[in-house]
Amino acid sequence: MVTDPVIPPLLEVRDLSIHYGDKAALSGVSFDIRQHEIFGIIGPANAGKTSFLRAINRMDDFVPGMRVGGQICFAGRDVATVRNLYALRRRIGVVFPLPVGLPLSIYDNVALSPRLRGVRRRAELDQIVERCLTRAALWDEVKDRLTSLGSLLSGGQQQRLTIARALSQEPDLLLLDEFSIAVDPVTTMRIEEVLKELRNELTIVLVTNLVQQARRLADRTAFFLGGRCVELDATEALFSNATQQQTIDYLGGRFG
């Protein structure tokens, strides 16, 4: 019987530490993130969740005083050694808590990344825009006004436009940082269904303060507290049989 070879992890994190000046945001974090999984990260404010995402995508380059130690390997390569940051960030899509719109039309917001990588044919761009807006649960609401400014959309629509723009990069890894803060509950559920489908195409890291969202979506979940990864397990095992008292207290709503 022939067995499938072991698939290497997409992201390998080894003894990661992050400081802002003299203040530690993360210390001694180590784990792997597998290909084609939704990896959830939960924890209270100031636990180090967003700092972790920043380090993956080399956003520390833009944050004065932010220092990253240890190692993050993406697709087998230490991100700290990557010189072509555009190539790295094209493969890693990011969605922030609040929408970051570009002063462009809805169409051009989504078509920007494909154009940057050389897509010129209008028919191909049209397909990409429709596909990405559909995946972000926005197409039906905007298909008749694609030339309108994206900044004129409602807050929730702008966030979904941000998701569509991230998907247009065709990333291998999608980082979601509290994506549903500006999105209504019904639309949030629609996007969650899309994320489950996207698992077949890419890897997703989902940072959320909504613990039940992690339970619905994540294959595995890590609990961050005070700059440490306190516990990591298959999501249902973590929620039903956590081993650390801090995890049990957080999931039970005793703090957060």
38 occurs within a structural domain: yes
Reported as a single tens digit per residue, the pLDDT across 147-171 is: 999 999 988 899 899 999 999 999 9
Confidence (pLDDT) at 37: 96
Average pLDDT estimate for 187-215: 92
Return the pLDDT at 237. Answer: 97
% of the chain exceeding 90 in pLDDT: 76
User: What per-residue confidence (pLDDT) applies to 6?
Assistant: 67
In a domain, 192, yes or no: no
On the question of pLDDT at 2 being above 50, the answer is no
Range of the domain at 212: 7-91+177-183+204-250
pLDDT at 218: 97
* 146 located within any domain: no
CA distances from 163 to 117, 179, 183, 202, 250 (A): 18, 8, 12, 14, 29
Cβ atoms of residues 17 and 24 within 8 Å: yes
CATH number for position 235: 3.40.50.300
In a domain? residue 235: yes
Q: Domain for residue 118, yes or no?
A: no
pLDDT of residue 164: 94
Domain assignment present for residue 219? The answer is: yes
Residue 73 inside a domain? The answer is yes
Looking at the 3D structure of the chain, how many domains does it have? 1
**Residue 2, in any domain of the structure:** no
Res 1: pLDDT: 35
How confident is the model over 188-210, as a mean pLDDT? Answer: 91
CB 63: neighbour CB atoms within 10 A?
Answer: 14
